[in-house]
């Protein structure tokens, strides 16, 4: 959906992405079938994307967006250096491409880059983050971007009926917490707070006690 919005804004359907992108390997290039976009795979499947890979792109004037996954799951969670990442974003800006972050596992990047989530996300036009990967949430995610972008995303999510209704009565018992350490545990609590910072509002209620059952309830909305 993010790529569709960026493509429409620039009247260009080309999307640049790595051969190991989730959109390619696990969604069977559905973005092309659903939105009529045209994928351009660049780089080597076993290596991190480089600025040289991007410069080798043919006809960048036909491209509308660049997708970067941080970290790159299929090649062991590798990441470009901070300087390499900025070079890639600068290349996209030079050719007027939007830059979208597939940040499903973004929470793993802060320590590597030694920079805040806000500073990392500031490089991108749109950001996707997951609340159940690494954080231990039941489900949920956020698509963040500029006000105009988010307004369009809200419309398209309703058109496509992409809305999950969560049963907030789902409980995580103490026994499970001891094994898995989900959302409310001290280890992941600070990350939950930062999730709200990344998207600019409070998005979580964490580890509330259910007086009726005596169990801990964790949910996202």
Q: Does 62 reside within a domain? A: yes
54 part of a folded domain: yes
Q: Is 207 contained in some domain?
A: no
pLDDT tens-place values along the chain, 221 residues long: 888 898 889 988 888 888 888 777 666 666 667 767 777 888 888 899 999 999 998 888 889 899 999 998 888 889 999 999 999 999 999 999 999 999 888 999 999 999 999 999 999 999 989 887 888 777 788 889 999 999 988 888 877 765 555 444 343 433 344 444 443 333 444 444 444 444 433 333 333 333 333 333 222 33
141 falls within a domain: no
**112: domain range?**
2-130
Residue 139 falls inside a structural domain: no
Q: How many residues does the chain have?
A: 221
Domain count across the chain: 1
Asked, for residue 174, whether it belongs to a domain, the answer is: no
Rounded-to-integer distance, Cα 176 and Cα 72, Å: 29
Residue 156: inside a domain: no
Q: Is residue 9 part of a domain?
A: yes
Specify the CATH number for the domain of residue 112.
Answer: 3.40.640.10
pTM beyond 0.75: no
């Amino acid at each position: 959906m993010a790529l569709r919005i960026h493509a429409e804004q620039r009247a260009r359907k080309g999307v640049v992405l790595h051969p190991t992108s989730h959109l390619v390997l696990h969604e069977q290039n559905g973005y092309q079938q659903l939105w009529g976009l045209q994928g351009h795979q660049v780089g080597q499947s076993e290596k991190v994307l480089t600025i040289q890979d991007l410069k080798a792109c043919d006809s960048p004037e036909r491209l509308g967006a660049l997708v970067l996954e941080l970290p790159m799951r299929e090649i062991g969670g590798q990441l470009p250096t901070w300087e390499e990442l900025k070079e890639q974003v600068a290349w996209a800006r030079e050719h007027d491409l939007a830059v979208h972050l597939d940040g499903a596992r973004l929470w793993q990047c802060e320590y590597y880059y030694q920079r805040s989530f806000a500073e990392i996300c500031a490089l991108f036009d749109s950001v996707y983050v997951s609340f159940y990967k690494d954080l231990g949430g039941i489900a949920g995610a956020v698509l963040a971007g500029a006000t105009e972008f988010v307004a369009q995303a809200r419309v398209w999510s309703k058109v496509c009926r992409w809305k999950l209704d969560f049963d907030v009565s789902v409980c995580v018992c103490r026994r499970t917490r001891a094994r898995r350490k989900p959302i409310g545990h001290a280890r992941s609590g600070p990350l939950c707070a930062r999730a709200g910072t990344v998207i600019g509002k409070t998005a979580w209620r964490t580890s509330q006690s259910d007086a009726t059952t005596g169990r801990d309830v964790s949910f996202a909305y």
